[in-house]
Amino acid sequence: MNSVDLSVNVGGLKLKNPVLLASGTVGYGNEISQFTDLSKLGGIVTKSLSLKPRKGNPPQRIVETPSGMLNAIGLANIGVEAFLKEKIPFLKNINTTLICNIAASSIEEYVECTKILTNEDTIKAFEINVSCPNVKEGGLEFGNNVNTVRKITAEVCAVTDKPIIIKLSPNVSQISEFAKAVKAEGGDAVSAINTLVGTSFNIFTRKPKIKNITGGLSGPAIKPVALAKVLEIKRNVDIPIVGIGGIMNWMDAVEMMIVGASAVQLGTVNFINPNAGVEIVEGLISYCEQRSIKKISEISGSFQI
């Protein structure tokens, strides 16, 4: 038994600890489970699901950048129907909280996906992706428009009793305005940040290194941006925040919680160290024990400015 209470409550979603694996970096759980014990994590967030399967973008989809990577996967996914049939049986038994990420090309599609998935008991919450930078329809078209985010939040919340987390884009001038809109429409939490729009060119061919031309930047390179965005939300809006962006180790996770996150998500690090989540949970326990912190939730938003 841990002497530290690691449990957290994110807008009504109870997690055994604050470490989640981020959407798009854990597939539907089966591959990564060969390397790590998912039951030791607070939860996992599925790859974005859409109503119908999506093939995703053609290659080249990824490129490495200094301390980061760009990706333009294009929301490749199997669709809600195949997800329920093929992936839920495995996910039922992982003994950690399952959050479904939903991406869509229209408000109606977000609502439809949520309606279908909310009947599945294994799913404990939804993360609504209004901020994918790599698709033509939906994605940033939605995430950049506060009125659209408002509308999506309201309509999705109306069709489920499960907690709704809206995943926000950092590619806006004031992220806190979006968090305010989510709160006003009954959203339970926000997650921040999705990737930053970036690009990379080959200087010899003068062509973009990824086919989509631009991609989403992730990895340790974006951590300072993520921290600033989470802090901005924390200081301006009273809504639980799931902090995402460049977390590589337990120290990064603590830092993200200090600036305001109730829980954190790990993304790019899963590609490099698929056991990072478990190691970070262990690191958080030692951090708390050494400082006699009884409940990890005490460190959320504990910044001294």
Partner 1 sequence: MFIEKAVVRSVEEIAEGIFLLSAHSPSIASIAKAGQFCNIKVSETDFPLLRRPFSIFNIKGDFLFFVFDTHGLGTKILSAKRKNDTLDILGPLGNGFDLTGDYQTAVIVAGGLGVAPFSFLIRSLQDDKEMVSYLGARTKKKIVNLGLKNVSMATDDGSYGFKGNVVDLLKKETLELSKKKFRIFACGPNPMLKELQSLCIKNNYDCQISIECAMACGFGICQGCPIESYEDKNYLLVCKDGPVFNANAVKL
Catalytic residues: 132
CA 248 – CA 276 distance, rounded (Å): 8
Of 51-59, 112-120, 129-137, 296-304, the segment contacting partner 1 by CB under 8 A is: 51-59
> Looking at beta carbons only, is 271 or 303 nearer to partner 1?
271
User: Minimum Å distance from CB 278 to partner 1?
Assistant: 12
Cβ–Cβ contacts within 10 Å for residue 143, how many?
A: 25
State yes or no: cis peptide before 193, omega within 30 of 0. Answer: yes
Determine if 98 is a binding residue for partner 1 (CB under 8 A).
Answer: no
Nearer to partner 1 among residue 63 and residue 164 (C-beta)? 63
Question: Which residue, among 238, 295, 246, 293, has the nearest Cα to 272 in the 3D structure?
Answer: 246
Give the nearer residue to partner 1 in terms of CB position, either 51 or 156: 51
- Longest Cα pair distance anywhere in the chain, in angstroms? 58
Q: How far apart are the first and last CA of the chain?
A: 35
Alpha carbons within 13 angstroms on the beta-carbon side of residue 16 total: 15
- Closest contact distance (angstroms) between CB of 145 and partner 1 is 27
Phi first, then psi: what are they for 15, rounded to 5°? -125, 145
**Residues from 235 through 264 that contact partner 1 (CB under 8 A):** 248
**Contacts (CB under 8 A) with partner 1, residues 173-232:** 219-220
Examine residue 2 and tell whether it contacts partner 1 (CB under 8 A).
no
Integer Cα distance of 18 and 179 in angstroms = 20
List the beta bridge partners of residue 45: 99
The nearer residue to partner 1, 25 or 176, going by C-beta atoms, is 25
CB of 73 to partner 1, least distance (A): 5
With H, G, I as helix, E, B as strand and everything else as coil, classify residue 175: helix
Is 268 among the residues that bind partner 1 (CB under 8 A)? yes
Binding-site member from 243, 274, 283, 301 for partner 1 (CB under 8 A): 274
Helix%, strand%, coil% for the chain, nearest 5: 35, 20, 45
What the block records as the tokens of 125 is 């919450």
Q: Judged by CB, which is closer to partner 1: 68, or 170?
A: 68
Among 1, 59, 119, 203, binds partner 1 (CB under 8 A): 59
Contact positions vs partner 1 (CB under 8 A): 24-27, 31-32, 34-35, 47, 53, 55-56, 58-64, 66-69, 71, 73, 76, 219-220, 248, 268, 270-275
